Amino acid sequence: MSFFADSCIVFLSELIFFIGGWIFFMKELFRNYEVQYKAVIFSFSITFSLSCIMFELIIFEILGFLDPASRLFHWKLGLYSILFVLVFYLPFQISYLMVRISDLIHSKRVAFTVSSILWLGIIFLFWKIGDPFPILSPKHGILSIEQCVSRIGVIGVTVMAFLSGFGAVNCPYTYMSYFVKNVTEDDVKLVEKRLMQTYDMILFKKKRIAICEKESMYKMTEQTGFWSRFRTVIQSSSTQNFGVIKREISALEEMARQLFLEIVDLNRTLERICFSKTLQGKYFNFVGYFFSIYCVWKIFISSINIIFDRVGKVDPVTRSIEIVVGYLGLEFDVQFWSQNISFLVVGIIVVTSIRGFLITLTKFFYAISSSTSSNIIVLALAQIMGMYFVSSVLLMRMNVPAQYRVIITQVLGDLQFSFYHRWFDVIFLVSALSSIVFLYLAHQQKQIAEKHAIY
């Protein structure tokens, strides 16, 4: 293929990814909010597009698709573009929106100046992140491309490892029927009955207060002298009784809220039990057991890697094929099959990484966003998304055979790749163990609360 044809293919892919990011933004991420700044949609979509194109280039590298010189050019163009977006464009846009939304500065010129100062502060903090880590070779200058990639890698790998550790623990806990409490429809009806009784008690006490207040107002009309003083004493006593009853009503209303939440939780558990009996539910239960084994294996391997300072030199696919061929004594084209299986494995990693991160992104956005802060949060999440995908490429380098790593290493620069794999293992281990402790305590607390529930 000519360079022009190769470029058309890559740019067409970028356009498709850009449109996909735009649709996801409008249909999923921002469907409940009004778009105030069109630039926010553009920023999110261009970050998503540039991130996906790097994954596509890895697949092209394995398939040998496009001319090698064209692939190298678009690798560098894509990497430089996303570094510009992550280091310069998005931080400045976040700073500018923060200044404009604050309503403290109305002049655009002053807002631009203040935003520039904030951006410089962000760049300073970003630069200082790399100081504690052995991420660069001493020969690299302060303005080299490795300076940016290495620091983005630290942040992105940390996010990846944290999400992977939590996901490896939370997935079995969520999907496995073993962790689902045995709930029947009778249990739900019993709690619903308690809730209705609580509502009746609240209604009775509120009626009592209303009747007493009406009688008190009736008795107080046109009474003077001695009866006036006597009335004051009676009114004071009634006021104290009203205070006690109102406190009781407050406690009952809180109890009603807790019972309502318990009913919601029981209904969800009942739905999970019904779902677990379906074919899809049984599949998810199997996936839960698989991830349980994966979690234990990954914790063990991460511990071994940290203790013995071990980093793999051969990609897992090639290593697995070599072991099978050596054990069975078969004549096998290792290079051919490692290429095809690596293509399949990398494709699965790419799809699951993008899908999983977008699902997490959507949940996190709805958990913390509001109508005023939604635009800033989207830009911050776009920043994290870009760093996450750049780091995915950095770590994915070990999942492809050695002959396909050359161009990735050439583009990313002379980084301390082994450090990022060790750092991933450390953060994954901390995240997984912390998640196990957290979910165990939450599960125990839930069981204790159920035992001490007020009937």
Residue 422 lies in a domain: no
Residue 135 lies in a domain: no
Do 244 and 331 have their domain in common?
no
Residue 303 lies in a domain: no
For every residue of 156-167, DSSP letters joined together read HHHHHHHHHHHH
Do 265 and 202 have their domain in common?
yes
Residue 154 lies in a domain: no
Give the residues of the chain that fall short of pLDDT 50.
224-226, 230, 233, 315, 454-455
Residue 46 lies in a domain: yes
Residue 452 lies in a domain: no
**pLDDT tens per residue, range 136-153:** 555 555 566 777 888 888
Give start and end residues of each alpha helix (H) in 397-416: 402-412
Do 120 and 200 have their domain in common?
no
- Residue 277's H or E segment, with its range, is none
**pLDDT tens per residue, range 239-251:** 556 677 788 888 8
Token couple for 249 = 């009503």
Q: How far apart are the first and last CA of the chain?
A: 76
CA distance 352 to 346: 10
Do 8 and 123 have their domain in common?
yes
CA distance 74 to 7: 8
The closest of 157, 62, 56 to 400, measured between CA atoms, is 62
Residue 292 lies in a domain: no
Do 22 and 119 have their domain in common?
yes
Do 16 and 106 have their domain in common?
yes
Cα dist. 329→256, 299, 320, 321, 325 in Å? Answer: 70, 32, 14, 12, 5
Do 114 and 62 have their domain in common?
yes
pTM as predicted = 0.68
Do 16 and 113 have their domain in common?
yes
Q: How many domains does the chain have?
A: 2
Do 125 and 224 have their domain in common?
no
What is the extent of the structural domain holding 262?
183-280
Sequence-ordered list of residues with C-beta below 8 angstroms from that of 160, at least 6 positions apart, any chain = 388, 391, 392, 395, 424
Whether the CA torsion 242, 243, 246, 252 is positive or negative: it is negative
Do 250 and 344 have their domain in common?
no
